[in-house]
Amino acid sequence: MMVEIFCDGACSGNPGVGGYGSILRCGGKEKELSGADGATTNNRMEMSAAIAGLEALNRPCEVVLTTDSQYLVKGMTEWLPGWQKRGWVNSKKEPVVNRDLWERLVELTKVHKVRWVWVRGHNGHPENERCDELARAAIVNFRNG
């Protein structure tokens, strides 16, 4: 089964209160997801959006995951093999930041075949704009308790 996932993260302060939004699309159906965290970073929210989307799938799927996060796309497609080879140490010989989320993404990509696609953020891409709205609304909802 082919699924499209669009995702975005946002943070009010970095670190600060953060939110994420994801859209899942399959077979003419669409589902929106969002969430928030009180003390996080933009990168963690970008990753959380992807994780939420992948975790929402109830069986193995082929996924096209679209994000405006170069950090997420490059991490999953370029940097990951080196980090794993070096024992989760980056090229500067420092521990990889957000290792817990990277490891969760690795586990999810063992279940789903994911193609990572980058789009420029805030550039009129309809699904990316909607995910940004979901993320920002999640921040507001979190603050309003």
Q: Is 37 a catalytic residue?
A: no
Q: Which of 18, 21, 53, 68 is catalytic?
A: 68
Active site residue 132: yes
- CA-CA-CA-CA dihedral for 131, 132, 133, 135, to nearest 10: 90
Degrees to nearest 5, angle at CA 118 with 116 and 122? 145
Can 8 be counted among the known catalytic residues? yes
From the list 21, 35, 37, 132, the catalytic residue is 132
* Among 58, 56, 66, CA closest to 31: 56
Annotated binding site for Mg(2+): 8, 46, 68, 132
The CA distance from 140 to 131, in Å, is 14
Catalytic residue among 8, 19, 21, 127: 8
Out of 46, 75, 112, 127, which one is annotated catalytic?
46
Please state the residue numbers annotated as binding site: 8, 46, 68, 132
Catalytically annotated residue among 13, 30, 78, 122: 122
73-96 burial string, b = 16+ CB within 10 Å, else e? bebbeeebeebeeeeeeeeeeeeb
- Strand-pair category, 16-26 with 29-40: antiparallel
Per the annotation, the verdict on 68 as an active-site residue is yes
**Residues classed as catalytic:** 8-9, 46, 68, 122, 132
